[in-house]
Amino acid sequence: MRMRWIAALAVCALGCGVGLAQGAASTGLAMTPPMGWNSWNHFAGKVTEQDVKNAADALVSSGMRDAGYVYVNVDDTWQGTRDAQGVLHANDKFPDMKALGDYIHSKGLKFGIYSSPGPHTCARYEGSYGHEQQDADLYASWGVDYLKYDLCSYRELMSAGAADHPNDPDYANKMMKAAYVKMHEALEKTGRPIVFSLCQYGWDDVWTWGASVGGNLWRTTGDIKDNYDSMSKIGFGQAGLAKYAGPGHWNDPDMLEVGNGHMSADEYRTHMSLWALLAAPLLAGNDLSKMPDETKSILMNKGVIAVDQDRLGRQGDRVSQNGLLEVWSKPLSGGAVAVGLFNRGTSPAEMSVKLSDVGMSSAGKITDLWSGKMVKAKDGEVKASVPVHGVVLLRVEP
């Protein structure tokens, strides 16, 4: 049985992928990086329907929805068991998924869900293996707008498949692509526009093929943790990936930890600035129902969000690195450019950047996006004092 299934996948892997990049783009989904909230970073396996409703309420009352955060994504551990017809039911924590979707939609928000191509999710709940179309149809019937599809136990099938095909070194990779193609096609078949988020931790340079299997975004790394070391390793480790991102298909360095409590405000501003420069999805991962003003000010800085969501859809990249001091920039529409001066060190630093280094011959207006103040260039150069683990993020208009 397993062999037959693997063979079918392999055929698709060789033939199905090519036309799909256009398919993904033609849906017009995720033309800017998706923004919203996801349950995992704060609630993990404990998340309940009430937590999700509270998050939806808070997105509205805090102003986050109006700032662009519209997806309400339930991550792992909502799944129950399949009935005799194979239809998956949610577990006791989620009494009525259709009603939850309706609630989320009634607030002007969108509903996201989570599954795996394997038999089990990463938290060992029911996955979609062998039920892909049935699950896609179910999600559509619940009004789902976003699916995060997490490799998890499918890795075990890939290892078995590779072991059965010792002469094909690409066999596991082909299986992985085929699994994503299969769900992409199932989602397309529902007729409902559903953002497709690939989660496979950046394996096999997914940025080079994620769009071709229908992905609107793909995780480029392992899981983020709420500390500076994890966040900065992931964020600054994105250098060089800019060319793979664009409208409809984004690199995803994982969800935000802003507000989860284990980084300083400067570190969270670094997190937010870096993600904006990376044109990364902005999926808040904190408890939105208990947000201090400082957290709100970081998540809802309009100028920073505008950098992330700029309609040009270009990801930024590193411009220069001098020890623990880094300059990153991102081209924006209208000839503007966002520039981040980052201090990864443990003492405050004086930093400078030449306008010519970020492709500008001169600057009309320069705004410090965190202080809101205007900044002046002198002799074509901008200087800034950057705090420990902090950032100065500038918007430079031509």
Identify the helix (H) or strand (E) that includes residue 198: strand 195-199
**Identity of the residue, 6 or 113, whose beta carbon is nearer to ligand GLA in the bound complex:** 113
CA distance 49 to 51: 5
Site for ligand GLA in 258-277 (CB under 6 A): none
Q: Binders of ligand GLA among 153-182, rule CB under 6 A?
A: none
What distance in Å separates the CA atoms of residue 90 and residue 134, rounded to the nearest whole number? 14
Radius of gyration in angstroms for the set of CA atoms belonging to the chain, rounded to a whole number: 21
Q: How far is the CB of 256 from ligand GLA (least distance, A)?
A: 12
* C-beta closer to ligand GLA: residue 150 or 188: 150
**Residue 223 binding ligand GLA, by CB under 6 A:** yes
Choices 28-36, 120-128, 236-244, 266-274; region in contact with ligand GLA by CB under 6 A: 120-128
Distance CA 246, CA 249 (A): 5
Letters for 184-203 (x = contact with ligand GLA by CB under 6 A, - = none) are ---------------x----
Closest alpha carbon to 209 in 166, 242, 176: 176
Q: What's the CA gap between 189 and 166, in Å, rounded?
A: 34
The correct pick among 31, 123, 265, 324 for binding ligand GLA (CB under 6 A) is: 123
Q: Does 325 bind ligand GLA (CB under 6 A)?
A: no
DSSP annotation of 216: S
Q: Which of 55, 58, 122, 276 binds ligand GLA (CB under 6 A)?
A: 122
Q: Which is nearer to ligand GLA, 49 or 75 (CB)?
A: 75
Number of shown-chain residues binding ligand GLA (CB under 6 A): 9
Tell the smallest beta-carbon distance from residue 92 to ligand GLA (Å). 18
Cβ burial of 37 (10 Å; 0-12, 13-18, 19+) is buried
User: What separation in angstroms does the CA of 210 have from each of 219, 250, 317?
Assistant: 9, 9, 20
- Give the residue with the Cβ less far from ligand GLA, 14 or 44: 44
The DSSP secondary-structure symbol of 300 reads T
Please tell me whether residue 75 binds ligand GLA under the rule CB under 6 A: yes
**Cβ proximity to ligand GLA, 40 vs 69, nearer residue:** 40
| SS3 state of residue 103 | helix
Q: What mask, x for binding ligand GLA by CB under 6 A, covers residues 344 to 383?
A: ----------------------------------------
Residue 137 binding ligand GLA, by CB under 6 A: no
x/- letters, 34..73, toward ligand GLA (CB under 6 A): ------x---------------------------------
User: Please, are residues 255 and 7 in contact by the beta-carbon 8 Å criterion?
Assistant: no
Catalytic residues: 150, 223
Q: Do β-strands 88-90 and 110-115 pair in parallel, antiparallel, or remain unpaired?
A: unpaired
Asked if 226 is part of the footprint of ligand GLA (rule: CB under 6 A), the reply reads no
Contacts of 12 (CB under 8 A, 6+ apart): 178, 181, 182
222 or 372: CB nearest ligand GLA:
222
Determine if residue 229 is left, alpha or beta; phi over 0 gives left, psi from -120 to 50 gives alpha, anything else beta: alpha
Contacts with ligand GLA by CB under 6 A lie at 40, 75-76, 121-123, 150, 199, 223
